[in-house]
Amino acid sequence: MFTAAGLLGGGVLLATPALAVDDPTRPDARVTHGPSCRPGGVAVEVTAGTVAYAVTLATTRSPEGEDAAELEPGQPVILRTGDVDWGETIDSRLEYAALDGSGTTYVDELDGFSFTRPAEEDCAAITAPPTAEVPEIVEVPAAPVPSPSDAPPAGGVAPEVVPIPVPGLPAPETAPGAPADGPPAGAVVASASAAQVAAGGRVVVTAAGFGAGEQVTVTDADGTVLGSATATADGAVEVVVKLPDGGAPGPTTIELVGADSALTASVQLRVAAVSSAVDPDPLPLPLVAAGLALVTAATGLVLVGARRPPPADPTGSA
């Protein structure tokens, strides 16, 4: 069982390069963007080979094509679809036709890519800012002015002043201005939207600190590629990954690796066992905990009642 922040319904692109036929005359293509919590649609970068080609980006909602271009040998282009609505799925494909008169045509179905945008409420759940806690204001009494009678005797030693920690205020060794420990330069910070995910479930993995525009690949502990994404201009990455089906319950590690910078980051997760019947509307954890407490208390009462000795016979016989 996992929270709504981790139920992002497969609405993110697994942006790895699309496999092309090993033919230098044909274009190469790779998907650079897919439906996500951000506005936009599908974007595919196509680079022509040694032969000029006409290429069309078609989808299930627009079979005639949403974008097209004619490429000279070696020419690159980025083809884009229109915006994708919340929860909408658009299966995309590339249609190629050679312009050298050979009549060669073929279609790349872009297998292995998910083109479903997450639901609006799911995206809102993972982007809602946390509630800030207002710190308690602690009044510190002013230090008393020493009187002449408090002065040390002539030739004596002044009493040692011991600082007293005040709740709500920083300790002397961590007072403002003191050097604070922080992550080393070039480190990548990553996190997941849920600490526990069922096998086959999805979780949102975010990270910051990668190179601008570099490809970041997400793998599990066995090295299986779970997805990838392109880092933004500030080095941030957001990917919805699906854990392998049938995974053994227990702790696991998800690793993010930058293709250009070779920077890595790890996220620790726990794979939960999948129950035989999934409740479509699971109870909140506080209610479940309260129910378990009541069951435990009732069991204790039954055990106490079972151990109570029988009442004595008024006749005195055993």
Query: What pLDDT is attached to residue 185?
Result: 56
Q: Are 106 and 96 in contact (CB under 8 A)?
A: yes
Distance of CA 267 to the CA centre of its chain: 9
Q: Are 71 and 29 in contact (CB under 8 A)?
A: no
Residue 116 to residue 218: CA distance in whole angstroms? 19
Residues near 226 by beta carbon (within 8 Å), at least 6 away in sequence: 14, 218, 219, 220, 241, 242, 243, 254
Segment holding 240, helix H or strand E: strand 236-242
Query: What pLDDT is attached to residue 310?
Result: 55
Task: Fill in the DSSP letter of residue 254.
Answer: E
Query: What pLDDT is attached to residue 96?
Result: 96
CA terminus-to-terminus distance, the chain: 56
Query: What pLDDT is attached to residue 178?
Result: 39
What would the two tokens of residue 137 be? 């204001």
- Tokens 């392998």 correspond to 244
Question: Has this prediction a pTM greater than 0.75?
Answer: no
What's the pLDDT tens digit per position in 4-37? 333 344 444 444 444 455 799 999 998 888 888 8
Q: Positive or negative CA dihedral for 121, 203, 242, 57?
A: positive
Instruction: Name the nearest CA neighbour of 39 among 88, 112, 110.
Output: 88
Overall size of the chain counted in residues? 318
Instruction: Name the nearest CA neighbour of 238 among 260, 221, 261, 216.
Output: 216
Query: What pLDDT is attached to residue 304?
Result: 41
Segment holding 301, helix H or strand E: helix 285-306
Query: What pLDDT is attached to residue 261?
Result: 86
Query: What pLDDT is attached to residue 22?
Result: 78
- Tokens 């809602």 correspond to 128
Tens-of-pLDDT digits for all 318 residues of the chain? 434 333 344 444 444 444 455 799 999 998 888 888 888 888 899 999 999 999 999 998 999 999 999 999 999 999 999 999 998 888 899 999 999 999 999 999 888 776 888 888 888 887 666 555 556 666 666 666 656 555 555 555 555 555 555 555 555 544 444 344 444 556 788 898 888 888 888 889 999 988 999 999 999 888 888 888 999 998 899 989 888 887 788 898 889 999 988 888 888 888 887 553 344 444 444 544 545 554 444 444 433 444 455 555 555 543
Q: Are 273 and 246 in contact (CB under 8 A)?
A: no
Query: What pLDDT is attached to residue 49?
Result: 93
Residue 19 to residue 111: CA distance in whole angstroms? 9
Instruction: Name the nearest CA neighbour of 71 among 44, 102, 99.
Output: 99
- Tokens 């600490």 correspond to 195
Residue 274 to residue 260: CA distance in whole angstroms? 37
Cβ neighbours, 10 Å, residue 75:
14
Please give the domain boundaries of the chain with CATH numbers for all domains: 28-123 (2.60.40.2470), 189-272 (2.60.40.1930)
Beta-bridge partners for 250: 271
DSSP 255-275: EEEETTT--EEEEEEEEEPPP
Q: Are 87 and 11 in contact (CB under 8 A)?
A: yes
